[in-house]
């Protein structure tokens, strides 16, 4: 008599053990080895990354220096919003970017070595920082616009402030760049009337008068050639 397998005796059919459910196929395994694309914001600040990651992203050409400890995504246009975002960590909610820093935001030329932050008169000054310089100022709504979530003085107010507060050698090229960004010299001169009797108004009038087109109609050439005559006082 032949023996009958136990499984047959009990009316069951022998089965093979199932394959492991988590074993990936060859295509899935290859996909898992693909590098994950790096998605970067428009502006990246140094303290947001480790030293290794910061250096690596620059060496790989994914980040390009923008200003200070801020870099922009490589290949992206350098526009006013990105420049404002570069300054954002140094600007408190009550502050406004002004003077040379605002001129750089508007024009992209002549990067400042620090951020000029204007705060309301009588208010608390900003905390000390090597890249920030605070000053009190009275600003109306017409003096301020928001760029990339950062408060920045308008082109008009920036031109007036640069002419009043910045030394001539630095103010002149900044004012020329602002003219190309839309600054109207006559409007800026009229704006000086708000500050009659205050510091810097006389020198500002001299610099802004020099931005006016010459009578021969070649004022733009005079402005851009660097001639000091373009910024000499007008005798009337």
pLDDT at 15: 60
- Cβ neighbours for 135, distance < 8 A, ≥ 6 positions apart: 98, 99, 116, 117, 118, 119, 165
Of 7-11, 45-49, 134-138, where does mean pLDDT reach its minimum?
A: 7-11
Of 39-48, 86-95, 168-177, 215-224, where does mean pLDDT reach its minimum?
A: 215-224
What does DSSP assign to residue 167? -
Give the Cα separation of 34 and 32 in Å (integer): 6
Q: Residue 121 — very low, low, confident or very high, per pLDDT cuts 50/70/90?
A: confident
pTM of the model as a whole: 0.76
pLDDT at 168: 96
Q: Residue 20 — very low, low, confident or very high, per pLDDT cuts 50/70/90?
A: low
Mean pLDDT of 14-22: 59
Q: Residue 4 — very low, low, confident or very high, per pLDDT cuts 50/70/90?
A: low
Q: Are 64 and 74 in contact (CB under 8 A)?
A: yes
């Amino acid at each position: 008599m032949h023996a009958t397998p136990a499984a047959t005796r009990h009316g069951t059919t022998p089965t093979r053990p199932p394959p492991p459910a988590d074993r990936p196929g060859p295509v899935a395994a290859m996909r898992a080895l693909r590098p994950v694309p790096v998605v970067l914001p428009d502006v990246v600040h140094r303290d947001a990354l480790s030293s290794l990651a910061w250096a690596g992203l620059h060496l790989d050409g994914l980040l390009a220096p923008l200003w200070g400890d801020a870099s922009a995504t490589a290949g992206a246009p350098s526009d006013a919003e990105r420049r404002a975002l570069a300054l954002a960590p140094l600007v408190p909610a009550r502050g406004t970017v002004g003077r040379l820093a605002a001129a750089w935001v508007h024009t992209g030329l002549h990067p400042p070595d620090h951020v000029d932050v204007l705060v309301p008169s009588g208010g608390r000054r900003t905390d000390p920082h090597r890249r920030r310089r605070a000053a009190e100022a009275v600003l109306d709504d017409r003096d301020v616009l928001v760029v990339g979530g950062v408060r920045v003085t308008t082109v008009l107010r920036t031109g007036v402030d640069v002419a009043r507060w910045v030394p001539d050698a630095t103010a002149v090229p900044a004012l020329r760049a602002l003219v190309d960004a839309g600054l109207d010299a006559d409007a800026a001169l009229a704006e000086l009337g708000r500050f009659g009797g205050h510091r810097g108004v006389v020198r500002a009038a001299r610099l802004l008068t020099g931005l006016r087109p010459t009578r021969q109609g070649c004022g733009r050439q005079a402005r851009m050639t660097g001639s000091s005559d373009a910024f000499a006082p007008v005798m009337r």
